[in-house]
Amino acid sequence: MSPRRLFRTVAVAEAITWALLLTGMFLKYVTDTTELGVRIGGMLHGVVFVAYVVTTVVVAIDARWSLRRTALGLLAAVPPFFTIWFDLASERQGALPERWRLATSDPVSPLDRLVAWLVRKPVQGVAVGLVAVAVLTGAALVVGPPTS
């Protein structure tokens, strides 16, 4: 999977889970019918939010994004649906490559070496990504929800 396709998939998933969470909040706080939407939508959104952050960092390292673009990409996950805007703007600006640079280029920094390993061994890379998302989500759950 190319960096562009991976990023777009996770960015769209993040926006979809925002919609689920907002729908759940509407049902809970406006119609006062159920809080199930917040529980399910909130958990899904939290997991996909973490996946978006991990994906953004990996793509940023591989594509050599500036600190500014990386920060903007990470901040795009905060307002609802901005990940889609950031994805489209980044593609227009040529910041989302069709190929992984570190699949063939020599890594220079320790972060380059890590990302090179992830993209050169995709099965293990996906497994490491899933474990990273699970661990980070678990840590967030230990800390508590944003309203606690």
Residues 138-148 have a mean pLDDT of 78
pLDDT computed for residue 10 by the predictor: 97
Output the pTM of the full model.
0.92
Return the higher-pLDDT residue of 48 and 148: 48
pLDDT category of residue 146 using cuts at 50, 70 and 90: low
Residue 1 has a CB neighbour count (10 Å cut-off) of 11
Sequential DSSP letters for 17-59: HHHHHHHHHIIIIIS-S-SHHHHHHHHHHHHHHHHHHHHHHHH
Q: Which two tokens stand for residue 55?
A: 């994906």
Distances (CA, A) of 121 to 115, 118, 125, 129, 147: 10, 5, 6, 12, 39
- Given a cut of 90, whether residue 144 has pLDDT beyond it is no
Cβ atoms of residues 80 and 18 within 8 Å = yes
Query: To the nearest whole percent, how much of the chain has pLDDT over 90?
Result: 83
pLDDT computed for residue 92 by the predictor: 96
pLDDT computed for residue 147 by the predictor: 64
